[in-house]
Structure formats: C-alpha cells, structure tokens
Amino acid sequence: MRGQTAVSEARRITKTTRLQGEVRVPGELRTAAQAFWLAAISIGDSRFEQVPTSAVTTLDILVDLGVGVASDNGTVTVSGVGLQGLQQPQQVIDLQLPAEAALPALAILSQQSFVSRVRIAPESRELALQLLALLARTGAVGVEESDCLLHLDGTESPGGATHEESDLPGPVKLGLLTAGLFAQTPTILREPTSSKDRVDVLLKTRGVDVEGSRQLDPTLRTITLTPGSPPQALDLDIAGDLTGALPFIVAAVAVRRSDVTIRHVVLRPENRAFVDIVRQIGAELEIIDNDSGSVDLALKGSGRMKSTRVADKRAENLLDHVALLAILATQTEGEFIIRDIESLREGEYDFIEHLAGLLRAVQAKVGEYSYGLVIDGGRPLKGARIETRGHPGLAQAFAVAGLLANGDMDIDDTECVEPVYPGFFDQLDALRSPKRKETT
C-alpha cells in the first residue's frame, strides 16, 4: 500500500501532492436488481460486470426461484428460465429495494401461477399497492397481509390491459409493462409527452416489442407492449453508484493539480445534490454524457473553492454524506454552513458532536450548533487518530482528509468500508501521483 500502513489496527493515510487516473466505482443497486430480474425471465445467459455487493440478496432470491446464478472473477452470470420457468419460492421474498427495482420484480411474481409472499421497503409500499390495484385488471391477485408484507396469489392466464391514467409514477409504469410480457393481449399505457421516465427503453433494449406513439392528444404519448416472447439475454456493464464516487470527487477537486476521471456512473435528478454543490463552490467538475445513459465525471484540483450554505431540503438529501461534505468545506474559503441536520444527533450517539470533535482533532476550525456545523475553511489540516465507530462514511471522509493533511492520518476500524465498497482504499491509493513505494 503506497501511503497507507497498518498502525495498531488503524490504517495510515499520508499526504499526496497530486491525484491522477481513472476510477470505476461499484454498480448501482437499482440498476443491477432491475437487470437481474429481467435476465431471470429471459432465455439464455446474461453477464454482468461491476456488480455491487449489496446485490447478493437479489441473486440469492433468484436462486431460490430456480434461476441459475454463477460468479467468476467479478463477472456474474444469470441463466434465464423464461417467462414461466420460475419455481415457487421456499421463503418470503425480500424486495426491500428502490421502487424502480422492486416493482418490476413484484410484477413478475404477480404473473406466476404459484403463490408467493413478498416483503417490500416502507418507502415503496404506496407504489407497490398502487401497482397491485392496477394489475387486478390482468387477473392478478395481491393483498397486503401485514405492514409491507404482500401476499400474491398469482394467475394462470394473465391478460393485457389498457391503463388510461396518464399520471402514473415511473416505477408503476415499468411494473405494468413488465407484467404485460406475460399477457395474452397487448398492454397499453398513457403518459405525458413531457415525461422523462422512458421506462419502455429498458424493455426495448432487450428485444421486447414495445412502441411509443402520439395519437389524437398531442400532449399524451401512448406506449403499447405486444407480448409474444421473453426478453432477450443482455450483457451489461452496470453503471456506477454515484455514492461510491463522492469520496473520489472530493479528493480530486481538493488536491491541487489533480486530474481524475470517474467513468460510467449514474447521475439522476434525485441523487445529484452533492455534485451540484461541488460545482456551485467553483470546483472543476465536468459532466460528460455517455450514449448508455450514464456519465463520466472529469475532475481537476484547482485549489480555489468558495464556501456556501447547505440547508433545508438540500441538507436533508445529503444526511448520509455530511462527513464528506465537512471535509470538502475545510478546503473552501470562508464560512461553510451545514444546517438542518439535527436528526443526526439521534441514534446510538450524537453524530454531529462526534464529527465536530474529529474535525477539531485535524485542526479544522469548526463551530458546533444545535442545527449543525459552521466550518471556517482554508486552513491547513493536520493528521490525527480518527475513531470511526464503524461508520463507513467517516472512514472514507477522513481518508480523503489524510491526502490533504500534514502528518499521518490514522483511521481505525476501516474494515467497515469493505462491505459497502470493496477495495476502496486500494483504489484511492492507486490515484497517487507520483507513485510511492510501499511503506513498511
């Protein structure tokens, strides 16, 4: 490990003068789970690269349903069994996934001939119940057995349906179209022409006969799925989860003279708050669109960034990344305010208080208030011993700080990062330029 050594079970990070190179981060769970379920009802083998560790639950479920799954050198192969090849599961199916992945899976299960019980995430409950109510038109029967536990009776001969509602959420539309694969007659949806969901594209790329058209009303788009055959098997390099890219973004814009590109990541309106802040404060971050729907992020370290205020809804969207945001704040000029994060004081310990203590330990000038933190940036950081309390976000944030600090940054319990981002520290270390010899 260049610039990293084990010290009393802690990982030591040392300062670097530049970061250079390219990064690929683990795939997004939502994209992976969607793709796995569609691969399961395809015919043939679908191969996947950049599979996130969090996807193992979905793969285990598919195995329980009789789908072949194999892994070799990081490549996961799903051997599809076709539309009617799934087997009755032996246990409750865990679909506690983002709604965009959970609802297509729920639709597939609702169209089987067997009974299944499905547990969904609380945040997906309302959309799941809406989907089941609409799928009743196809003959599928599904009810909520208890809170977030669904009972699906399935159906022997599902039919198509025309859904005139034009204001359906994207996950519900995708669920209805996925169910339409099993129908005897076409499935028809309406959506505003202004809609950016384009859920039909996901199926069209797999050879499904689905077309969009404008008819009498120019404000509406009609989507028609004509059943006939299962989706085609499809190899996929899963686009990276933006969350995994954030530490590299902060490191690249904060370390002067850096030149780093993060390849093939998912950037959506709902997950781009951190990226927008990085651009707002004047960091050099270019977003490059790819044909695949993903983006590349080109980053340079100029060392000239201004402070800002993060509050209200924007702060709420960044609660999981406050530690990393605080490290970014130390590299800006002026007072960087992070407020409306009081909920982080609840739980096993007061996260804000602990984070403020760690920031002071590395010589950052920080004010702690009931509502959050005020960080006076532009001051040099100093290495310190960092107690992560098993929090991956703290370990990653202070690893980035270690690249900037004078003196050794010794971070304890960094093993907590491995389950969420295998190989994170090796990737961070590989960006150092010039390369260092391993330290013993």
Q: What are 269-310's pLDDT values in tens digits?
A: 889 999 999 999 999 999 999 987 899 999 999 878 999 999
Confidence of residue 195 (pLDDT cuts 50, 70, 90): confident
Give strand pairing partners of 222: 190, 213
Alpha-carbon distance of 331 to 378, in angstroms, equals 5
Q: Kindly list the domain boundaries of the chain, sorted by start residue.
A: 4-26+239-430, 29-236
Percent of the chain topping pLDDT 90: 84
In the prediction, which pLDDT does 431 show? 97
Confidence of residue 437 (pLDDT cuts 50, 70, 90): very low
Give strand pairing partners of 163: 189
Indicate the pTM of the whole model: 0.91
pLDDT at 333 over 80: yes
Gyration radius (Cα) of the chain, Å: 24
Identify residue 155 by its one-letter amino acid code: T
How does pLDDT run across 3-21, given as a tens digit for each residue? 555 444 689 999 999 999 9
How does pLDDT run across 211-241, given as a tens digit for each residue? 988 877 788 999 999 998 899 999 999 999 9
Percent of the chain topping pLDDT 70: 96
Alpha-carbon distance of 205 to 232, in angstroms, equals 9
**Strand 116-120, strand 149-152: pairing:** antiparallel
Alpha-carbon distance of 423 to 366, in angstroms, equals 31
Mean pLDDT confidence for 154-179? 90
Return the H-helix or E-strand segment holding 176.
helix 170-180
Q: Describe the crossing of helices 99-110 and 170-180 by its angle, rounded to 10 degrees.
A: 30
Asked, colleague to colleague, whether 4-26+239-430 and 29-236 share their fold, the answer is yes
29-236: CATH topology is UDP-n-acetylglucosamine1-carboxyvinyl-transferase; Chain (3.65.10)
In the prediction, which pLDDT does 435 show? 65
Distance in angstroms between the alpha carbons of the first and the last residue of the chain = 9
Alpha-carbon distance of 233 to 42, in angstroms, equals 6
Nearest to 12 by CA among 428, 409, 436, 415: 409
CATH superfamily for 4-26+239-430 is Enolpyruvate transferase domain (3.65.10.10)
How does pLDDT run across 235-260, given as a tens digit for each residue? 999 999 999 999 999 999 999 999 99
